[in-house]
Structure formats: structure tokens, C-alpha cells
Amino acid sequence: MGNVFLYEVMRVLGIDPGTMVTGYGVVDDIDGKLSLIDYGTIEGKKKHSFPDRLKKIFNGLNKVIKEYKPDHVALEEVFYGKSVKTTIKIGEGRGVAILCAAAAKIPVSEYAPAVVKKAVVGIGNAHKVQVREMVKVILNLSKAPKLYDASDALAIAICHCHRRKSMI
């Protein structure tokens, strides 16, 4: 009889919520080894109404969830942006992401931007360029994602995988 190997596998969907561009990244964590499954963005257009942009995010994230069947969703916590109005709008985009996960009965974890940066780069005040380059290194990509929204989403997924290990 051959050897039987049991691996702990977790698929994480990282989401960088926004109302114009929402980034997503799907990463598998197989016994601590991370591998990229997919990443991309869901983009709205300024000419579309705000509710229509939220609907596009809703439909796009539901499609990603249906296709990749993540075990966990991780997203960035809301932070105070340039204005209260911007912060509220981002919060509404986050709400859509949380709703998509909840409707699919997927647990959600939220991380502050500084926590994500520290998990990926090693310092909490890292620049987006540094985060993007470390995502490339950690996931062994030939080139980094073009859009920061996608690399940030992957960083959030990576952060969740690292934090999860430290809690076990």
C-alpha cells in the first residue's frame, strides 16, 4: 500500500474594496506554501450611477466566489480617507463584499492596511510599490500585477494566510 499524504489546504479570496475599482486575489495555502490561483479587478465607470457600480461589484465578486469557491474571504478594514464622503463610499463597497461572502456562507476576516503591509513587506508604512514587489516575490510571479488594486488584494490574502498560521 502506498503512502497517504494529507495536506491542509485553504483557499483565500483577498478583496481590496473600492467603488471605482475593486481588486481581488485568490491564493491557495497548502501547508504554508502559497500559490496564486487568479487575480483581477472589477471596474466601474464614472458615468454609471453609484448604485450601478455597487451592483457591478456585487455581480463580479459573486462570479469570483462561484468560480473559485474560497474557504475564507479577507478584506481591508475601512480607514479614514481624504474625506468623510470617500470613507463612507468605500465602506459601502466593503459592505457589498461582506454581503457576497455572507450569502455564500464564507467566513470573513478584516485587516488594517498597516497590518497587511507589515505581513507582506515587514513594515507597516510600506509604499504600494513595495507591497506589489513583495507580492511578486512571495507568490513567485514572473511579473507583478499591473494594478495596485489587484496586488493589494493579493497582499490581503497573503496577510490572512500568515496571520492564520500564527494563530494556530
In a domain, 49, yes or no: yes
Residue numbering of the annotated binding site for Mg(2+) = 16, 76, 149
The active-site residue, picked from 8, 31, 67, 76, is 76
Three-state DSSP at 115 gives: helix
Question: Which tens digit of pLDDT belongs to each residue from 76-113?
Answer: 987 766 788 888 888 899 999 999 999 999 999 999 99
The share of the chain scoring above pLDDT 90, in percent, equals 77
Domain encompassing residue 103: 9-167
Q: Is 38 a catalytic residue?
A: no
Residue 125 has pLDDT above 60, yes or no: yes
Sequence-separated (6 or more) residues with CB below 8 Å from residue 30: 7, 8, 9
In a domain, 135, yes or no: yes
CATH number, residue 48: 3.30.420.10
Question: Which tens digit of pLDDT belongs to each residue from 86-95?
Answer: 888 888 999 9
Sequence-separated (6 or more) residues with CB below 8 Å from residue 110: 74, 75, 76, 77
In a domain, 161, yes or no: yes
Band of pLDDT at residue 26, cut at 50, 70 and 90: very high
- On whether the CB atoms of residues 35 and 139 are closer than 8 A, the answer is yes
Calculate the alpha carbon distances from 53 to 14, 59, 64, 70, 134 in Å.
19, 10, 17, 23, 30
Question: Which tens digit of pLDDT belongs to each residue from 29-45?
Answer: 998 899 999 999 999 88
The lowest-confidence range among 57-61, 76-80, 116-120, 136-140 is 76-80
The active-site residue, picked from 16, 28, 29, 152, is 16
Calculate the alpha carbon distances from 17 to 83, 95, 167 in Å.
17, 9, 25
Q: What is the pLDDT of residue 81?
A: 64
Q: Is 16 a catalytic residue?
A: yes
In a domain, 2, yes or no: no
Band of pLDDT at residue 168, cut at 50, 70 and 90: very low
In a domain, 145, yes or no: yes
Q: What is the pLDDT of residue 5?
A: 53
In a domain, 82, yes or no: yes
Task: Between 5 and 114, name the one with better pLDDT.
Answer: 114
In a domain, 140, yes or no: yes
Structurally, the chain folds into a number of domains equal to 1
Residue 167 has pLDDT above 70, yes or no: no
Q: Which residues pair with 153 in a beta bridge?
A: none
Question: Grid coordinates in use for 150?
Answer: 489587484
Q: Is 71 a catalytic residue?
A: no
In a domain, 1, yes or no: no
Q: What is the pLDDT of residue 88?
A: 86
How far does CA 126 lie from the centroid of its chain? Answer: 17
Question: Which tens digit of pLDDT belongs to each residue from 134-149?
Answer: 999 999 999 999 999 9
